[in-house]
Protein backbone atom coordinates (compact mmCIF):
# COMPACT_ATOMS: atom_id res chain seq x y z
CA UNK A 1 0.00 0.00 0.00
CA UNK A 2 2.74 2.47 0.95
CA UNK A 3 4.64 1.61 -2.21
CA UNK A 4 1.53 2.38 -4.26
CA UNK A 5 1.07 5.75 -2.49
CA UNK A 6 4.75 6.60 -3.00
CA UNK A 7 4.50 5.76 -6.71
CA UNK A 8 1.36 7.89 -7.12
CA UNK A 9 2.96 10.75 -5.14
CA UNK A 10 6.07 10.72 -7.31
CA UNK A 11 4.09 10.46 -10.55
CA UNK A 12 1.86 13.41 -9.60
CA UNK A 13 4.82 15.54 -8.51
CA UNK A 14 6.71 14.89 -11.74
CA UNK A 15 3.57 15.71 -13.75
CA UNK A 16 3.17 19.05 -11.95
CA UNK A 17 6.85 19.91 -12.50
CA UNK A 18 6.75 18.99 -16.19
CA UNK A 19 3.33 20.42 -17.11
CA UNK A 20 2.56 23.36 -14.82
CA UNK A 21 5.87 25.05 -14.06
CA UNK A 22 6.59 28.15 -16.13
CA UNK A 23 9.22 30.80 -15.29
CA UNK A 24 6.85 33.66 -14.44
CA UNK A 25 4.63 31.42 -12.30
CA UNK A 26 7.71 29.90 -10.63
CA UNK A 27 8.59 33.25 -9.05
CA UNK A 28 5.00 33.86 -7.91
CA UNK A 29 4.73 30.41 -6.32
CA UNK A 30 8.13 30.66 -4.66
CA UNK A 31 7.11 34.02 -3.20
CA UNK A 32 3.75 32.76 -1.98
CA UNK A 33 5.07 29.53 -0.48
CA UNK A 34 7.75 31.56 1.34
CA UNK A 35 4.99 33.56 3.06
CA UNK A 36 4.04 30.32 4.76
CA UNK A 37 7.48 29.78 6.30
CA UNK A 38 6.86 29.44 10.04
CA UNK A 39 3.25 30.41 9.25
CA UNK A 40 4.46 34.01 8.96
CA UNK A 41 1.91 35.31 6.45
CA UNK A 42 -0.99 33.71 8.30
CA UNK A 43 0.33 34.88 11.67
CA UNK A 44 0.60 38.47 10.42
CA UNK A 45 -3.00 38.45 9.21
CA UNK A 46 -4.08 36.89 12.50
CA UNK A 47 -2.34 39.65 14.48
CA UNK A 48 -4.02 42.24 12.27
CA UNK A 49 -7.42 40.65 12.93
CA UNK A 50 -6.73 40.74 16.67
CA UNK A 51 -6.22 44.51 16.48
CA UNK A 52 -9.85 45.26 15.62
CA UNK A 53 -12.82 44.56 17.85
CA UNK A 54 -15.03 43.33 14.98
CA UNK A 55 -12.52 40.67 13.91
CA UNK A 56 -10.88 39.86 17.26
CA UNK A 57 -12.75 36.58 17.81
CA UNK A 58 -11.92 35.39 14.31
CA UNK A 59 -8.27 36.28 14.88
CA UNK A 60 -8.27 34.41 18.17
CA UNK A 61 -9.84 31.38 16.50
CA UNK A 62 -7.20 31.45 13.75
CA UNK A 63 -4.39 31.77 16.28
CA UNK A 64 -5.62 28.90 18.45
CA UNK A 65 -6.19 26.76 15.35
CA UNK A 66 -2.69 27.34 14.01
CA UNK A 67 -1.17 26.63 17.44
CA UNK A 68 -3.04 23.31 17.57
CA UNK A 69 -1.83 22.51 14.06
CA UNK A 70 1.76 23.28 15.01
CA UNK A 71 1.61 20.90 17.96
CA UNK A 72 -0.01 18.09 15.99
CA UNK A 73 1.98 18.42 12.77
CA UNK A 74 5.42 19.81 13.49
CA UNK A 75 5.92 18.68 17.07
CA UNK A 76 4.19 15.29 16.95
CA UNK A 77 3.56 13.64 13.56
CA UNK A 78 6.59 14.85 11.57
CA UNK A 79 9.15 13.60 14.10
CA UNK A 80 7.34 10.26 14.36
CA UNK A 81 7.03 9.62 10.61
CA UNK A 82 10.31 11.17 9.39
CA UNK A 83 9.43 10.95 5.68
CA UNK A 84 12.18 12.35 3.48
CA UNK A 85 11.57 15.29 1.13
CA UNK A 86 10.92 14.59 -2.57
CA UNK A 87 14.32 15.73 -3.86
CA UNK A 88 16.01 13.34 -1.45
CA UNK A 89 14.20 10.19 -2.63
CA UNK A 90 13.43 11.05 -6.27
CA UNK A 91 16.48 10.78 -8.46
CA UNK A 92 16.77 13.76 -10.80
CA UNK A 93 13.82 15.66 -9.28
CA UNK A 94 14.50 19.32 -8.73
CA UNK A 95 12.65 21.36 -6.16
CA UNK A 96 12.40 25.11 -6.72
CA UNK A 97 13.11 25.75 -3.04
CA UNK A 98 14.73 23.70 -0.29
CA UNK A 99 13.56 23.29 3.26
CA UNK A 100 15.77 23.17 6.33
CA UNK A 101 13.29 20.69 7.84
CA UNK A 102 14.23 17.26 6.48
CA UNK A 103 10.78 15.81 7.19
CA UNK A 104 8.06 15.94 4.59
CA UNK A 105 4.97 14.31 6.15
CA UNK A 106 2.66 16.03 6.83
CA UNK A 107 2.97 19.49 5.29
CA UNK A 108 3.20 22.09 8.04
CA UNK A 109 2.51 24.93 5.57
CA UNK A 110 -0.69 23.21 4.43
CA UNK A 111 -1.71 22.53 8.02
CA UNK A 112 -1.23 26.17 9.07
CA UNK A 113 -3.01 27.42 5.95
CA UNK A 114 -6.05 25.21 6.45
CA UNK A 115 -6.19 25.81 10.20
CA UNK A 116 -6.24 29.54 9.41
CA UNK A 117 -8.61 29.27 6.45
CA UNK A 118 -11.18 27.01 8.08
CA UNK A 119 -11.16 29.02 11.31
CA UNK A 120 -11.79 32.26 9.43
CA UNK A 121 -14.40 30.66 7.17
CA UNK A 122 -16.29 29.61 10.29
CA UNK A 123 -15.72 32.77 12.33
CA UNK A 124 -16.08 35.64 9.85
CA UNK A 125 -19.56 36.66 8.67
CA UNK A 126 -18.60 38.01 5.22
CA UNK A 127 -18.85 35.52 2.36
CA UNK A 128 -15.97 37.17 0.46
CA UNK A 129 -13.71 36.79 3.53
CA UNK A 130 -14.61 33.11 3.88
CA UNK A 131 -13.83 32.49 0.20
CA UNK A 132 -10.57 34.46 0.39
CA UNK A 133 -9.41 32.58 3.52
CA UNK A 134 -10.10 29.18 1.97
CA UNK A 135 -8.59 30.20 -1.38
CA UNK A 136 -5.41 31.30 0.42
CA UNK A 137 -5.26 27.87 2.08
CA UNK A 138 -5.76 25.96 -1.16
CA UNK A 139 -3.14 28.09 -2.93
CA UNK A 140 -0.62 27.51 -0.12
CA UNK A 141 -1.18 23.76 -0.26
CA UNK A 142 -0.79 23.73 -4.05
CA UNK A 143 2.33 25.90 -3.85
CA UNK A 144 4.03 23.22 -1.76
CA UNK A 145 3.52 20.75 -4.61
CA UNK A 146 4.42 23.26 -7.30
CA UNK A 147 7.79 24.11 -5.73
CA UNK A 148 8.42 20.41 -5.08
CA UNK A 149 8.99 20.33 -1.32
CA UNK A 150 6.13 17.93 -0.51
CA UNK A 151 4.40 14.91 -1.93
CA UNK A 152 0.62 15.12 -2.57
CA UNK A 153 -0.10 12.82 0.38
CA UNK A 154 1.92 15.16 2.64
CA UNK A 155 -0.21 18.09 1.51
CA UNK A 156 -3.47 16.16 1.82
CA UNK A 157 -2.63 15.04 5.36
CA UNK A 158 -1.48 18.52 6.39
CA UNK A 159 -4.62 20.08 4.92
CA UNK A 160 -6.88 17.58 6.70
CA UNK A 161 -5.12 18.06 10.04
CA UNK A 162 -5.30 21.82 9.56
CA UNK A 163 -9.02 21.72 8.77
CA UNK A 164 -9.70 19.66 11.90
CA UNK A 165 -7.58 22.07 13.95
CA UNK A 166 -9.53 24.98 12.41
CA UNK A 167 -12.83 23.51 13.57
CA UNK A 168 -11.35 22.70 17.00
CA UNK A 169 -9.85 26.17 17.34
CA UNK A 170 -13.19 27.82 16.63
CA UNK A 171 -14.86 25.53 19.17
CA UNK A 172 -12.24 26.31 21.81
CA UNK A 173 -12.48 30.08 21.31
CA UNK A 174 -16.28 29.99 21.38
CA UNK A 175 -16.17 27.94 24.57
CA UNK A 176 -13.63 30.33 26.14
CA UNK A 177 -15.73 33.33 25.09
CA UNK A 178 -18.84 31.86 26.72
CA UNK A 179 -16.83 30.98 29.81
CA UNK A 180 -15.55 34.56 30.02
CA UNK A 181 -19.04 35.99 29.54
CA UNK A 182 -20.33 33.91 32.47
CA UNK A 183 -17.73 35.33 34.88
CA UNK A 184 -18.95 38.10 37.17
CA UNK A 185 -17.18 41.44 36.92
CA UNK A 186 -14.65 42.01 39.66
CA UNK A 187 -14.27 45.50 40.83
> Domain extents for the chain?
56-84+102-177
pLDDT at residue 32 is higher than 80: yes
CB 176 within 8 A of CB 131: no
Average pLDDT over residues 95-105: 87
- Integer Cα distance of 72 and 145 in angstroms: 21
pLDDT at residue 183 is higher than 70: no
Least Cα distance to 61 among 163, 173, 164 occurs for 173
pLDDT at residue 57 is higher than 70: yes
Amino acid sequence: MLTMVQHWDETALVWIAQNLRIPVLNEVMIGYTTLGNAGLGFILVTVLLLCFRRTRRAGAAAGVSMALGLVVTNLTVKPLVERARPWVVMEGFEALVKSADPHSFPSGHSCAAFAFGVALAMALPQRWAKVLALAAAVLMAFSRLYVGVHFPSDVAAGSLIGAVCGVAGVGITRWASRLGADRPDVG
